[in-house]
Structure 1
Amino acid sequence: MSQIIHIDDMADPVVTPALAAWREGPADFPCPMTAGEVLARAMAETGLSDFGDDTGFRQRLAVILEALYEDEGLTRGGRVFVLKQAVRAMANRLRIEDLVRRHPEILEVPVERPIFIAGLPRSGTTHLVNWLSRDERLTSLTLWESEEPVAGPPVPPGEVDPRVTRSAEFWGAFGALVPHMAAMHEMAANDIHEDNELLFMDMNCYNWEFSARLPRWTRHYLAHDRAGSYAYEKKVLQAIAWQRGKPEGVRWLLKSPQHMENLAAIKAVFPDATMVITHRDPVDVLRSLTTMLGYSDRTRRSWIDPPALARLWADRIEALLRECVAQREAWGAEQSLDVLFHQYMADQQGMARRIYALAGLDLPPETEAKLLGYLAENPRHAHGKVHYDLEGVFGMDVAALRQRFAFYYERFPVKQEH
C-alpha cells in the first residue's frame, strides 16, 4: 500500500537554512528589474539583439513585472525566480530568431496533425502524455528541451547535453527543499513535459501564475487573443524538429492545462490537429492543486495564507472552465474527444485505443505493449499518496464550490469523487 503523506506545516513551515537561502535568492542577481533590463540581460547573455516581430510580448512582460511587484507576500528569491524565468524566455526567443534567420528553411518544416492533450491541472494529463509518448512514431518535448529549445555547440560523443545537466541540477535542488513534491508532480529533466513552456517565448504562458499571485496579469492574459502566441509556438516546434534532423516534420504529441482555455486559438493555428480533453471534478482538482502550490509556497513566500491561495485558484479554475465550455464547439467530433477522468482511470488501455482511432493511428501489438510497459513501471502513488484537506487547511466550502461549478458539471458529466 502507498504511504499516506500528511503535510502538517502548510501554513507555518519549518524554515531550514537551505530553505532560507532559497527564499533570499542569489545575491548577484538584480532585483527588482524593469522590462527593459530583462531584455538587456537576455541580450547580454546571448550576444544577440533581434527579438523578431513584436507580437505584444513586450507589453505582456511589462504587465507580468507590474503584477509581480504587487505580490507583497513573495520573498526576494521568489521574485528572482520569476525574473530569471523571464530572462531565460527572452534569451530563448533571441536564439530562436537567430536560428531561423540563419536557416530560413525551418519555416518550411511541416507541423502536421499534432495531437494536443488539454485538461485541468492534476487531471491526468501528465500521466497520459508520458505513456503515449512511448510510441516512437510520436514526438514529444522533454522538460530540459522545453526549457532551452535551441542547442548550443555540438556535444562530444558520450557526453551529456549541458541543457540536461542544468535542468536536472535545478529541479534536483528544488526537490530537496520540498521532497513531497515527487508524490504530487515530479519534475525530472528527461520526463515528457508541457509545451506551454514554449509560450513563455511570447510572454503568454500561464505558468507565471504558479510562481506568484498575479491577478493583474491573469486579467490581461484572458482579455487578449492568444492565437499569435500559438503561432510562435509553431515556429519553435519547427525549429526543434529541424534541429533533430527532421526537416520533413514529425507528428507532435503535446499537452498543457493551458490548452483547455485556448481551444479556438489552437484550432486557428493547427486546424488539422487532434484535440483530447481530460475532465475531472474541479473540486478534486482544487484539493490537489492547492496542496501542491501551498506546499511549494514555502520556497518563495515570506508568509503563507492557504485560504487566500484556494480562493485565488477557485477563481482561476472557474475562468479556465468557462473558457473551455465557451470554446468547446471549435472542435468537431471527428477531431476531438472528451475523456472523463474516472473512465480513464478505470480503463486506460481502452482510452488509448479510442485516442488512437480518433488520431488515425493504428495500434499494433508491439506498440501497445510499450504503452502498457510504461503503466507497469509507473503506478499511481509510487512516491506516496498525499492527504488533501481542502475544507480544513484551505477553508473552502465544498457545497458552495459545487454550485459555482454547476455550469461545468452540466456540460461534462464528471464524477464527483468526494
Structure 2
Amino acid sequence: MPDAIHIDDLAEPRLTERQRAAIAGAPPVRFDVEAVLAAARAGTGLDDFGADDFRQRLGLWLASFDADADLTDLGRATVFGECVRYASTRLRLEDLLRRHSEIGQIAIDRPIMVAGLPRSGTTHLVNILAADPRLRSTPLWETMEPIPAPEDQGTPDPRYVRTAAMWGAFEETLPLMPAMHEMAPEHVHEDIELQGPDFSSYLPEWLSRPTAWRDHYLTADQTPHYAYAKRMMQALTWLKGPRRWVVKSPPHMENLPALIAVHPSAIVPITHRDPVAVLQSAITMIAYGDRIRRKRQDLPALAAWWIDRIEALLRRCVRDRDAIPAAQSIDILFHEYMADQKATVARVYAMAGLEMTPEAEARIDAFLAANPRNKHGRVVYDLIGDFGIDIGALRERFGFYYDRFPVARERVTGERT
C-alpha cells in the first residue's frame, strides 16, 4: 500500500471486476416490515420481538431506503440485510431476558462513554482504553451479533469467524477502505449498534440518503433508545464480564441529555476536531463506498447532506455541553491528543478513577505500537476539487463551534492561507 493514496475516480468510479460482480450478484428485496420480520423469525426460530413500537421506526427506515432511488440492488440488499440483522438481535435479546430476569438488575456503573465527531479519533481512543482488561467493550464481531445463538459454541467464537469473513470480503471489494476506517473484528466498534435493534440512531445515514428518517430522528427524544441500549449492555455483561464499560459513538455528541439521563454516573470524554477536516475525511470515505451502493455519484449533494448533519450535531453539542457534570467529562482537542496520546489517556483514567496498572500500561503501549496513525496508508483528500466546497464559507458556517472549542484549524488541499 503506498504511503499517499489518491482516489481520483470518486465522481466517475472505475469499477473492478469484483465490484461489478458484487453489484450484479445482489438479490432483489422488498422493503416491507413483515418481510424483514419474517426473515428474522426464520433465521432465529424465535417470534417475540418485545414492545411493538419499533415497527413504526422500522417502517420509516424501509420507506426512507425505498425512496432513495439511486441505491443499486446491492445497496438495497445491504440495508435490507442490516434490518434483518437488527431484528434478529432483537428476538435473541428478548428471548434471553425472558429466560433470565436477573439481567435487568445488573448495574452499569460509571461507564466511560466516548463522544466526538466522526473521524476525530474516537475509534482510536476507545481501542486504547479497551486494551485495559478491566474494561468491557464492544468489539466489532460482538456488535454484529451481540447475543449468541444456541449453536454458537467453541473457540474461536463462530460469530468472530463470520464477522472476519464478511468484513474480509468487504475490504477485498473496497481495498482502500482500511486506510480510512479499518474494520478488524477484534477492534472496538460503536456502541450505537446496540440501538440498532430498536431501530433508532443515525445508522441509516451511513448507507443511504434516508431523508424521512433523518428528519424524524432529529425531532425525536432518544432517551428510550439509550435505555434500550443499556438493556443490551446488561445482557452482554451477564454473558461475559468485566462489569465496567468503555464505549464510543459520535451521536453521543448530539444526545448528551439522553445519555446522562440513562447513565447518570457516566464518564464522558468528548473529542473535538476541526469540522472541515472531519468532513473531508468522512465524505471521501462514504463516496468511495458509494461506488457499489449507488447508481450515480452526486458528490456536491453528498457533501451538502453531511455538512448539514455535522452542523446539526455540533449545534446540539454546543447547546447541551453542560448537561454533563463538569466532574464527569473532559474535552479532548484532536491536535493535543495526537501530540501526546498517553497524556490524553492519563486524563481519562484520572477522571474515571482508574489506576494505571503495569498490565494496563503494557497493553496500551502494545496497542499504540501496533496501530500507528496512517497504518494502511494516507489518503489524500480534496474537498475543493472533488466536492466543489467553498472552504472559507464552510469555516464561517462552523464559526459557532470554533468559538466554543479551540480546535486547531487544519489546512486542507487547495485552501488559501
Taking structure 1 as the reference length, the TM-score comes to: 0.95
Alignment-derived partner of residue 19 in structure 2: 19
- Equivalent residue runs for 1:62-211 within 5 Å: 62-153=59-150, 157=154, 159-211=155-207
- Kept in 2: contact 1:48–1:95 (CA 8 A): yes
- Kept in 1: contact 2:31–2:63 (CA 8 A): no
Indicate yes or no: 2:267 matched with 1:270: no
- Kept in 2: contact 1:45–1:91 (CA 8 A): yes
Aligned match for 1:322, one of 309, 315, 318? 315
Aligned match for 1:243, one of 239, 242, 260? 239
Tell me the CA shift for residue 38 of structure 1.
1.1
Q: Which amino acid aligns with 1:22?
A: A
Distance (Å, rounded) in 2 between the aligned partners of 1:360 and 1:200? 31
Tell me the CA shift for residue 173 of structure 1.
1.0
After superposing the two structures, state which structure 1 stretch, 230-239 or 8-17, moved more. Answer: 8-17
Distance (Å, rounded) in 1 between the aligned partners of 2:394 and 2:153? 55
Distance (Å, rounded) in 2 between the aligned partners of 1:304 and 1:76? 15
Distance (Å, rounded) in 2 between the aligned partners of 1:195 and 1:24? 33
Aligned match for 1:44, one of 42, 45, 62? 42
Q: Which amino acid aligns with 1:407?
A: F
**Percent identity (aligned):** 52
Distance (Å, rounded) in 2 between the aligned partners of 1:31 and 1:347? 48
Alignment-derived partner of residue 380 in structure 2: 387
Alignment-derived partner of residue 355 in structure 1: 348
- Equivalent residue runs for 1:21-36 within 5 Å: 21-27=21-27, 30-36=28-34
Distance (Å, rounded) in 2 between the aligned partners of 1:156 and 1:333? 44
Query: Is there any run of 5+ residues in structure 1 with no aligned partner, and where?
Result: none
Distance (Å, rounded) in 2 between the aligned partners of 1:359 and 1:131? 15
Distance 1:212 1:371, change over 3 A: same
Q: Which amino acid aligns with 1:21?
A: A
Secondary structure of the residue aligned to 2:327 is: coil
CA RMSD of aligned residues (A): 1.5
Moved over 3 A (4+): 154-157
Secondary structure of the residue aligned to 1:117 is: strand
Distance (Å, rounded) in 1 between the aligned partners of 2:77 and 2:126? 31
- Kept in 2: contact 1:133–1:139 (CA 8 A): yes
Distance (Å, rounded) in 1 between the aligned partners of 2:196 and 2:236? 15
Q: Which amino acid aligns with 2:283?
A: T
Tell me the CA shift for residue 67 of structure 1.
1.1
After superposing the two structures, state which structure 1 stretch, 160-169 or 141-150, moved more. Answer: 160-169
Distance 1:155 1:64, change over 3 A: closer
Secondary structure of the residue aligned to 1:334 is: helix
Distance 1:121 1:25, change over 3 A: farther
Tell me the CA shift for residue 344 of structure 1.
0.5
Tell me the CA shift for residue 155 of structure 1.
5.3
Alignment-derived partner of residue 231 in structure 1: 227
1:259-295 CA-partner distances (Å, limit 9, x unpaired): 1111110100000010010000000001101110111
1:301-341 CA-partner distances (Å, limit 9, x unpaired): 11111111111110111111111111111112100000000
- Kept in 1: contact 2:122–2:271 (CA 8 A): yes
1:159-197 CA-partner distances (Å, limit 9, x unpaired): 422211211111111101111111110111121111111
Distance (Å, rounded) in 2 between the aligned partners of 1:2 and 1:417? 23
Distance 1:156 1:211, change over 3 A: closer
Tell me the CA shift for residue 367 of structure 1.
2.1
Distance (Å, rounded) in 1 between the aligned partners of 2:150 and 2:43? 15
1:386-406 CA-partner distances (Å, limit 9, x unpaired): 000001101111111111111
- Kept in 1: contact 2:128–2:364 (CA 8 A): yes
Q: Which amino acid aligns with 2:224?
A: G
- Kept in 2: contact 1:230–1:269 (CA 8 A): yes
Distance (Å, rounded) in 1 between the aligned partners of 2:75 and 2:168? 18
Secondary structure of the residue aligned to 2:71 is: coil
Tell me the CA shift for residue 156 of structure 1.
5.5
- Kept in 1: contact 2:31–2:66 (CA 8 A): no
Alignment-derived partner of residue 9 in structure 1: 9
Q: Which amino acid aligns with 2:235?
A: A
